[in-house]
Structure 1
């Protein structure tokens, strides 16, 4: 089969012929129709991710058709249109993942290929209102955003929500999910174009985080926030405490702008604030996310679709974070 292979951190992604996966107990083979890129894939190509091994077939997100199942898996899966939950081996505790938790695409070979194997328990019917390209955009970013908002952030209808850095795939999903849940959503971005796109998706307003007074602008626009979703950290994170309403939850799942800065602990305890870390999510989170998408007929934001053979070109688009929403590969 054809697959996109990462041979080393200093080499581009290349299309190669590789062995077709051989199924083990409880596994299925999915013919990948579309796969989406994540910031995780970009970090791996930079050699800046734990447990990197070479050669690797990256890709956590995928949608396709079940081509084959192992003997102990229900044969009715064959021919079904599916999406894949890339959050595997979570464990029994809903609050945190166990030690052997894995994300599809490293160390196991991922979805940047004509075929991928996965445990049958991680398959779900593709939402009928979505194309393969749209469905492939969902899994990793959608799951991360859903858990951040609802499981960790305890989002409720009528809450005021701030999404820091709305242009990323997680940011666009968080915006769509919060709007669907009946919340008033505000955003930040580095460009006016992305803020306008966020407004088209239902955001009440947005500000450019490059402005020196971005926090003051948000304070004037919204007054305060009940839930804040952040994937950047960095020095600006300290200003979020001033933007929070009493009892607010700040949920973060990345650190693209740096580490956690010095915080005024008095604001934390006096306002009864919570700072919560999260990553990926449980089987129940994934299922609830799909229910939300199906109920509200949410269509993921796809920035651009590339042929599988142009994976290197696609991932280079992430170098400057110019995309809004997800970048997708079509097999």
Structure 2
């Protein structure tokens, strides 16, 4: 089968199309014939060697396609071997595409619980863009962040997949959403999903200037996020794209009665919750910024790293 293989860590140019063996069958796992694969910033870190993936390696966490045995349309949940606990994954948990061959290929093998029915009404590109950001954001907002209707939400970064998904889900749940961005065009695009304008004084956009009930920080600006919260507010952190370290003044934090909540990815139960949410609410589909043929994965990575897009980038399999 055709796949995108990296023989070394490095720039996008290390991603090259090659012929590789089809995945072997194994008990309790299923094989998905992929029609589309979505990019995530996580894939860039894999390509750079952040997770010490074995070489040669096929990256990719997100995908949509059909089961090879039944033909059922599915999307791939990239959260493997989460376990039975909901507070955190078990020790054997891993992300698809880290140490196992991922979705930049014509076929991929995953545990049966990680091939879930494709939600109706989504294009192939939208379906491929859903699983990682969808389950990650659903868990961050609801399973961990406990967001409810009528609350206010601050989303840091208007353009990424998590941010655009957060705006869509939170607005559908009846929350008031404000996003941050340095690019007015991205603010305009986020507003169409249900977000209000972001201005320098974010707290001025909240009732009585009291601050936000919940902040979703996927960039690593904890101190700034906490300062935007109302007393007793929650900050869910799930990324570090802008900062690897986050100094946080201790006394203001505990006097404010704030919560700092960490999360990443999600369990099959979180994914089931997301699918029920999509059934019960009118949610804007995942925003697809641009599609590329699978063979042009290197160009797709260049576009992702340029940071000029809004929404997800998807590889289409011809």
Select the residue among 184, 194, 218 that pairs with 2:202.
218
How far 1:297 moved relative to its partner?
A: 4.4
Tell me how far apart the structure 1 counterparts of residues 125 and 246 of structure 2 sit (CA, whole Å). Answer: 38
1:232 and 2:216 are equivalent in the alignment: no
Contact persistence 1:241–1:267 (CA under 8 A):
no
Tell me how far apart the structure 1 counterparts of residues 304 and 88 of structure 2 sit (CA, whole Å). Answer: 29
CA shift in 2, pair 1:260/1:276, >3 Å: farther
Select the residue among 66, 76, 81 that pairs with 1:89.
81
How far 1:38 moved relative to its partner?
A: 0.4
Summarize deviations over 1:178-235 as a string: whole Å, max 9, x none: 001000000001211110000011102224xxxxxx3xx212222210010011114x
Match of 1:188 in 2: 180
Match of 1:251 in 2: 236
Residue 194 of structure 1 aligns to a residue in which SS?
Answer: helix
Contact persistence 2:217–2:225 (CA under 8 A):
no
TM-score normalized by the length of structure 1: 0.91
Select the residue among 269, 286, 292 that pairs with 1:300.
286
How far 1:143 moved relative to its partner?
A: 1.0
1:36 and 2:23 are equivalent in the alignment: no
Match of 2:170 in 1: 178
Residue 317 of structure 1 aligns to a residue in which SS?
Answer: helix
Match of 2:307 in 1: 321
Higher mean alpha-carbon deviation, 254-263 vs 150-159, is at 254-263
How far 1:320 moved relative to its partner?
A: 2.3
Summarize deviations over 1:225-269 as a string: whole Å, max 9, x none: 0010011114xx312222111211100111122234332222222
Contact persistence 1:5–1:14 (CA under 8 A):
yes
CA shift in 2, pair 1:106/1:263, >3 Å: closer
Match of 1:63 in 2: 64
Alignment: residue pair count: 311
Match of 1:138 in 2: 130
Match of 1:72 in 2: none
1:8 and 2:8 are equivalent in the alignment: yes
Match of 2:25 in 1: 23
Contact persistence 1:233–1:255 (CA under 8 A):
yes
Tell me how far apart the structure 2 counterparts of residues 329 and 101 of structure 1 sit (CA, whole Å). Answer: 26
- Structure 1 stretches of 4+ moved >3 Å: none
Residue 313 of structure 1 aligns to a residue in which SS?
Answer: helix
1:263 and 2:248 are equivalent in the alignment: yes
Match of 1:71 in 2: none
Contact persistence 2:232–2:259 (CA under 8 A):
yes
Tell me how far apart the structure 2 counterparts of residues 84 and 149 of structure 1 sit (CA, whole Å). Answer: 21
